[in-house]
Amino acid sequence: MQASAPPARIFTRRAGRIPAQKSSPRQRRRGITHNVNREIGMAEAAKKGSSSRDAGKGQSSNQPATRESLIQGLQEDLAREYKAIIQYIIFSQKVDTARFMSIAQELQVHAHQELDHALKIARQLDYLGAYPVHEPARVQVSDDNEEMLWIDLRAEDDTIRHYRTRIRQAESLGEYALAETLQEIIKQEQDHQIELAAALGVVPDDSQRQGQGPKQKKG
């Protein structure tokens, strides 16, 4: 996915980073609306293109990180956090077999932690002068207890992969505070991954459980 984000400063609400040109309030409103719509387009793209195959597209470790690719990546991370909140809210209520009762309680804790992650990412986007996206990545649901946990586990695998890329990008751009925030988040994501894997009786490291679990649905 090509970066479609406009120059980051356009979104800024912080004094000192607003472009110096003079414009009427109406023009400014129009500019903001235009740019927000472009951000919405990015959220749509994040919804469609968040498979592991696309992980880090345009931001692979072979390509030098840019501020724009960092912002775009963070927008996609935020869309994934929204998705995680929704899935954990639903699954924490729908998991109902005795075998998974203790993990169902944990899923509620995860939902709160994903909200905390979303707030932290949105804060970083605001700091970088970008307007945070408002649409989640594609939400998956199921009625089957085990499948619900596999959906969450694979989402955590995907999220961790993307955050590893984002940490490398942040460090290469000298955004050390952001890298530190992302380190805190990824630590919790790994805890989620471990808890879900333990409930399913599989190893947390996704590279060692290829082919396990229900077949992934496309779309």
Contacts with Fe ion by CB under 5 A lie at: 81, 114, 117, 189, 192
- The torsion angles phi and psi of 3, rounded to 5 degrees, stand at -65, 125
Task: Work out how close the CB of 125 gets to Fe ion at its nearest, in angstroms, rounded to a whole number.
Answer: 15
Residue (70 or 137) nearer to Fe ion, CB: 137
12 or 50: whose CB is closer to Fe ion? 50
**Closest distance of CB 87 from Fe ion, Å:** 10
**Comparison of 45 and 185: residue with beta carbon closer to Fe ion:** 185
- Shorter beta-carbon distance to Fe ion: residue 39 or 114: 114
Smallest separation, CB 111 to Fe ion (Å):
9
* Residue nearest Fe ion, Cβ-based: 117
Least spacing, CB of residue 15 vs Fe ion, in Å: 31
Output the smallest distance, CB 85 to Fe ion, in A. 8
189 Cα distance to chain centroid? 11
Query: Dihedral of the CA atoms 33, 56, 49, 124 (nearest 10)?
Result: -30
How many Cβ atoms from other residues are within 10 Å of residue 194's Cβ?
Answer: 15
What does the alpha-carbon distance between residue 42 and residue 1 come to, in Å, rounded to a whole number? 9
Per-residue burial over 121-147, b = 16 or more CB atoms within 10 Å of its CB, e = otherwise? bbebbeebbbbbbebbbeebebeebbb
Question: Of the candidates 95, 53, 57, which has an alpha carbon nearest to the alpha carbon of residue 76?
Answer: 57
For the beta carbon of residue 77, count every other beta carbon within 10 angstroms.
26
Closer residue to Fe ion, CB minimum distance, 172 or 188: 188
Nearest to Fe ion of 131, 163 (CB atom): 163
Residue 184, burial from CB neighbour count under 10 angstroms (0-12, 13-18, 19+): exposed
- Minimum Å gap between C-beta 88 and Fe ion is 8
